[in-house]
Chain A
Amino acid sequence: MYTLSSKLKLTAIIFMIVGAIGLIYGFIAAPETVEDVKEMMASEHHGEEHAGVESSEINVEQLPGEGISEEHAEETHAAAEGGHGEEAAHDNEHYEHVLHQLQNKPWSALYVAAFFFFMISLGVLAFYAIQYAAQAGWSPVLFRVMEAITAYLLPGGIIVFVLLMLSGFHVNHLFIWMDPEVVAHDEIIQAKTAYLNVPFFLIRAAIYLGGWILFRHLLRKNSLKMDDATDNTYFKKNFKLAAGFLVFFIVTESMMSWDWIMSLDPHWFSTLFGWFVFASLFVSGITTIAIISIYLKSRGYLEFVNDSHIHDLAKFMFGISIFWTYLWFSQFMLIWYSNIPEEVVYFITRMEDYPVLFWGMLVTNFIFPVLLLMNSDYKRVNWFVIMTGIIILAGHYLNVFVLVMPATVGESWFIGVSEISAVLLFGGFFLFVVFNALTKAPLLVKGNPFIKESKHYHY
């Protein structure tokens, strides 16, 4: 049995408190009126307002091809200088735009962090189900670690659902299609209201979350019963459950990614988006399993986990990182290549407003894992796997950040107090829930027909 060390508990609680304080500060610091925004911008970059107006206008309407945008910028510039009244109107519109972005900022930070930690536990559940359905012989020694990580699915899912409800009740403006005023003037969104409407959106979210949590609950229950079982009934039950879950998961995960992430940009769509989000959550989940297993092993709790198990996890981290990159590139390259204006704005805004994150993600999520984990010997060096794992997790946080932020805060993004606090808050909560769940059951499953093979697993 694992006992939660008071040090770890304290760390988790400190993370949560510091994160909560930082987030409250983030919400207080967000401006409330247009005047606040004007004041903030005047003190932050004096005399740059005019340039700001120009660039934001370019961003909204910019089409690919630099010549066009420059002409357009000159036009607007000329128009703005022509009539002062028009300029003032533009100005106010601009400040209102920035106001919405800045008000969205702490909410988006909260949403990104909540989704990131939730997707880790969802990715682990998918991995766990695959291990059962594939009857993997190497992984049963890690099942209790995986089960503990999926324990976050229930509280994390409730948090995500509450955030979605708050959006649905117009407490924030993360999803513009939830704003009736926006929809009234937007024919593209009007055509999508059959799918994108708040009640149906929340019902769908409830179905996904309810299904995943139910499957997790049943799998865990059978796994605990298997410990005292004398035959393979519960293993067979879990095998069938896992196969059923995977079918349910692949449909709901895809729809979840349309609902919770792609609908932030309701004018844009991409067909492989569900897979792309899946790759991200899958690799984060596997990385988390590796990090927590190595940590527990270093504390002497998993003496039956050997370097070959870590080697296998590292191989998965390596392979799925490449898979993520494959999907990222497939999505990017197809849109870049055909350059259809209605699709390409999605990447134009990201490349112009988030250049470091957008390209940096490729370094953290692809170049680092590929170079660091290619060597077979390095996959057995535990601290090496941990370091690479931290880079991968940070990279996939940035991935979610770049998926969400451009739609909600646009060019007003910054990784500051609210963003870091939100990660601390949910990181602390995640640690607390996961390590608390680890104390609930012995760390080695019994009664699994593959456990002996898994203990002697050697690669």
Chain B
Amino acid sequence: MASKVLHAIYRDDDLLLQAVKQIREARYHIGEIYCPFPVHGLDKAMGLAPTRLAITSFLYGLVGLAVAIAMMNFIMIEDWPQDIGGKPSFSFFQNMPAFVPIMFELTVFFAAHLMVITFYMRSKLWPFKKAENPDVRTTDDVFLMEVDAANHNVEDLTDFLYKTGASEIKLIE
């Protein structure tokens, strides 16, 4: 664990984006950035890897489709193939149009809900979770950047951060 971090506070998102670029160019390591709202392009500027949430969602959708098909094939065709209003329950495909609405809904249901749960798990969000906010103002109107200071001269780094437009800097040990 890095023992020393600097908390630099910025008051403007454009300034923050500029600062991120400068800091990365200077090869300092940014730990975390706390923003009150999504800053467009911040993930690209920080060089974060793109999310794979959409891929998981696609796979969950396939699971939902498979569940729907297996469920209705078993219930309607294999287990008790009753004649209900003359619908052809001899094979799955003969009666498929009637199953499509459920197949569709279950695909969407699985894709959506499992993806949301995946998001909660990956981002470690749950009720009664203790907030990890380093400064209450970051939920209102300031941006806070956590810069790793372990192997650097703190004075130099502080000067550099002031030059990038930081309005306050705090050393956290």
Bound together, the chains give a CA A376 to CA B58 distance in angstroms of 13
Bound together, the chains give a CA A376 to CA B97 distance in angstroms of 30
CB–CB A333/B97 < 8 A: yes
CB–CB B86/A332 < 8 A: no
> CB of A8 within 8 A of chain B?
no
Which residue in A65, A332, A374 is a CB contact (below 8 Å) of B97? A332
Within A309-356, which residues are at the interface with B (CB < 8 Å)? 329, 332-333, 336-337, 339
Annotate B85-98 by CB proximity to A: 1 below 8 A, 0 otherwise: 01000000000011
Smallest Cβ distance from A425 to chain B, in angstroms? 38
Which residue in B54, B58, B98 is a CB contact (below 8 Å) of A337? B98
CB–CB B86/A339 < 8 A: yes
CB–CB B58/A336 < 8 A: no
CB–CB A374/B86 < 8 A: no
Which residue in A65, A329, A339 is a CB contact (below 8 Å) of B100? A329
CB–CB B100/A376 < 8 A: no
Chain B residue at minimal CB-CB distance from A326: B104
Chain A residue at minimal CB-CB distance from B98: A337
Interface centre among B54, B97, B100 (most CB of A within 10 A): B97
Question: In the assembled complex, which residues on chain B have CB atoms less than 8 Å from the CB atom of A333?
Answer: 97-98, 100
Bound together, the chains give a CA A337 to CA B100 distance in angstroms of 12
A374-B58, A376-B54 in contact; A337/B86 too (CB < 8 A)? no
Within B95-144, which residues are at the interface with A (CB < 8 Å)? 97-98, 100
Smallest Cβ distance from B87 to chain A, in angstroms? 8
Chain A residue at minimal CB-CB distance from B58: A374
Q: Is the interface of B mostly helix, strand, loop or mixed?
A: helix
Bound together, the chains give a CA A261 to CA B86 distance in angstroms of 32
Question: In the assembled complex, which residues on chain A have CB atoms less than 8 Å from the CB atom of B100?
Answer: 329, 333
Smallest Cβ distance from B55 to chain A, in angstroms? 9
Question: In the assembled complex, which residues on chain B have CB atoms less than 8 Å from the CB atom of A65?
Answer: 86
Smallest Cβ distance from A335 to chain B, in angstroms? 10
Bound together, the chains give a CA A332 to CA B96 distance in angstroms of 12
Question: In the assembled complex, which residues on chain B have CB atoms less than 8 Å from the CB atom of A332?
Answer: 97
Smallest Cβ distance from A280 to chain B, in angstroms? 20
Chain A residue at minimal CB-CB distance from B55: A375
Chain A residue at minimal CB-CB distance from B87: A337
Bound together, the chains give a CA A7 to CA B134 distance in angstroms of 67
Smallest Cβ distance from A359 to chain B, in angstroms? 10
Annotate B52-93 by CB proximity to A: 1 below 8 A, 0 otherwise: 001000100000000000000000000000000010000000
Question: In the assembled complex, which residues on chain B have CB atoms less than 8 Å from the CB atom of A337?
Answer: 97-98
Smallest Cβ distance from A342 to chain B, in angstroms? 17
Smallest Cβ distance from A299 to chain B, in angstroms? 31
Question: In the assembled complex, which residues on chain A have CB atoms less than 8 Å from the CB atom of B58?
Answer: 374
Bound together, the chains give a CA A329 to CA B54 distance in angstroms of 26
Chain A residue at minimal CB-CB distance from B97: A333
Bound together, the chains give a CA A332 to CA B101 distance in angstroms of 13
Question: In the assembled complex, which residues on chain B have CB atoms less than 8 Å from the CB atom of A376?
Answer: 54
Bound together, the chains give a CA A333 to CA B54 distance in angstroms of 30
Smallest Cβ distance from A237 to chain B, in angstroms? 35
Smallest Cβ distance from B38 to chain A, in angstroms? 16
Question: In the assembled complex, which residues on chain B have CB atoms less than 8 Å from the CB atom of A374?
Answer: 58
Bound together, the chains give a CA A406 to CA B54 distance in angstroms of 42
Bound together, the chains give a CA A336 to CA B93 distance in angstroms of 13
Bound together, the chains give a CA A374 to CA B111 distance in angstroms of 14
Bound together, the chains give a CA A65 to CA B87 distance in angstroms of 10
Bound together, the chains give a CA A333 to CA B98 distance in angstroms of 7
Bound together, the chains give a CA A387 to CA B137 distance in angstroms of 52
Within B130-170, which residues are at the interface with A (CB < 8 Å)? none
Chain B residue at minimal CB-CB distance from A339: B86
Smallest Cβ distance from A67 to chain B, in angstroms? 11
Chain B residue at minimal CB-CB distance from A458: B41
Question: In the assembled complex, which residues on chain B have CB atoms less than 8 Å from the CB atom of A329?
Answer: 97, 100
Within B41-57, which residues are at the interface with A (CB < 8 Å)? 54
CB–CB B54/A336 < 8 A: no
Smallest Cβ distance from B127 to chain A, in angstroms? 32
Within A373-394, which residues are at the interface with B (CB < 8 Å)? 374, 376
Smallest Cβ distance from A160 to chain B, in angstroms? 33
Smallest Cβ distance from A361 to chain B, in angstroms? 15
Bound together, the chains give a CA A374 to CA B97 distance in angstroms of 24
Bound together, the chains give a CA A374 to CA B86 distance in angstroms of 38
Bound together, the chains give a CA A332 to CA B86 distance in angstroms of 17
Question: In the assembled complex, which residues on chain A have CB atoms less than 8 Å from the CB atom of B86?
Answer: 65, 339
Question: In the assembled complex, which residues on chain A have CB atoms less than 8 Å from the CB atom of B54?
Answer: 376
Smallest Cβ distance from B118 to chain A, in angstroms? 18
- List 13 interface pairs A-B (beta carbons < 8 Å), by A numbering: A65-B86, A329-B97, A329-B100, A332-B97, A333-B97, A333-B98, A333-B100, A336-B97, A337-B97, A337-B98, A339-B86, A374-B58, A376-B54
Not counting A333-B97, A337-B97, a sample of 4 additional A-B residue pairs whose C-beta atoms are within 8 angstroms of each other reads A329-B100, A332-B97, A333-B98, A376-B54
| CB-based closest 5 A-B pairs | A333-B97, A336-B97, A337-B98, A329-B100, A333-B100
